[in-house]
Amino acid sequence: MLKTVQDLKTALKRGDYSGVVLYEGPSRIDGAPVVAIACRIADASSNAKTGAMVQTFIMRQDIAPHEALKTGDDASVCGDCPLRPINKGPTRCYVRVYQAPLSVWGAYQRRRYAIPGSDFDAALLPELFEGLAFRIGSYGDPAAIPAAVWKTATRRVKNRTGYTHQWRRRIGVGLKNLCMASADSESDVATATARGWRTFRVRKHDAPTLSNESICPASKEGRNRTQCAACGLCKGATIAARNIVIADHGLMDSRRRAVVPNAAL
């Protein structure tokens, strides 16, 4: 077992592991077996919108993400998110699960990720991520796993982003100071704000920005003034700032309009 954070960082840089497992256990949404994995730790991600951030993926342990998407088993990690393709709404999730999520899931099946308690001491996680920008839930809803996992992992990070559709449910309450409430309507913004959340709303291109919202500065309509890694506006209710809004850039919408494809929140 790796005892020091330097040993763990060296193993990651050397390619012994592609990342680390943050959690293995039952989904807090439906009890099914899920896993949360952090990667892009030793090597920075190249996402143009987010910038260099640790990426995290919450997936079923036993079902490949693209298969779970087809069968509806993605509910274990996405809950009742209205953007799930199985809901057949007018807008779909921006994540292409057959790309990064599937790649990460495949690597997990090949045991390419270091497991706490087996490969390294779990107490090293805050130090491992110290000074980095951290993305809570690159795929999957953060509320699918215990909030304590995210609190521990992000204790010393430089910056973080996070979004949850589970803000109405008890399982989401512990994320209020870590994540933004994902809002799908103006009424969602009003309800979540009244409950003490800050919100991140996806609006239609012709819909107005509310008086308590600011346009995401890392978006096309925000003129890409910054990247998520440096912005710091989407870290939940820990800061006193306006709610954030962005124009729809999901798969279905990007096929209809000239918007940035495969952008990431």
Distance CA 116, CA 23 (A): 8
Give CA–CA dist 193/244, Å, rounded: 12
Span 83-108, pLDDT tens digits: 888 877 666 787 899 999 999 999 99
- Beta-carbon contacts of 70 under 8 Å, excluding residues fewer than 6 positions away, are 86
Q: What is the structure's pLDDT at 146?
A: 98
Q: What is the pLDDT of residue 265?
A: 29
Q: Where are the beta strands (DSSP E) in 81-219?
A: 113-114, 133-136, 159-164, 180-183, 199-203, 213-215
Q: Is residue 258 pLDDT above 70, yes or no?
A: no
The 10s digit of each residue's pLDDT in 12-35 is 999 999 999 999 999 999 999 999
Q: Tell me: the pLDDT tens digits for 171-214?
A: 999 999 999 999 999 999 999 999 999 999 999 888 899 999 99
State the Cα torsion 146-111-107-174 to the nearest 10°: 10
Mean per-residue pLDDT of the chain: 91
18-22, 29-33, 230-234, 251-255: which has the minimum mean pLDDT? Answer: 251-255
User: Residue 86 — φ and ψ, nearest 5°?
Assistant: -65, -20
